[in-house]
Amino acid sequence: MNYTLTVSVGRQGLHDITHKVLDLVRSSGVSEGLVTLFIRHTSASLLVQENADPSAKLDLESWLNRLVPEGDSLYTHTVEGPDDMPAHIKSALTASSLSIPLTGGVPVLGTWQGIFLWEHRHHRGDREVVVNVMGDAGSL
């Protein structure tokens, strides 16, 4: 089953979408299988990361911004603003898709793991994530 998850983001950074994904998985009725997520954009990405301590999120964002700074004179793709090319590079360095096993009708995430959409542009509206849930429907 395929679903399209629309995520509204208003700023650069990590946005927790775990509960939205859990809701889609529950509504699918699949008990054992696999959930695959794919982001339909080239300047945002997906990530499984710590969801407990906000400092981990801030450190990741700061580190990637330092690794891929805005305003590099080597960038030629700048028509959409100074954050555009860095966003494409950040997206290339991270992931456009994730696959997570399902057991008992829920993704098998670790205790401190969450699913995040990583917005690499400063100001965005909606992002689309295609969520595919495959497997066996059983007693949940």
Residue whose pair of structure tokens reads 């966003």 in the numeric block? 87
Q: CA 37 to CA 21: how far, in whole Å?
A: 9
Q: CA 103 to CA 107: how far, in whole Å?
A: 6
* DSSP 8-state assignment for residue 95: B
Q: CA 41 to CA 7: how far, in whole Å?
A: 12
What is the pTM assigned to this prediction? 0.94
- What is the structure's pLDDT at 123? 85
Total domains in the chain come to 1
Q: Which domain holds residue 19?
A: 2-136
Tens-digit pLDDT profile for residues 4-40: 999 999 999 999 999 999 999 999 999 999 999 999 9
- What is the structure's pLDDT at 137? 87
Decide: 42 and 91 in contact? Cβ < 8 Å: yes
Average pLDDT over residues 48-60: 96
Tens-digit pLDDT profile for residues 81-123: 999 999 999 999 999 999 999 999 999 999 999 999 999 999 8
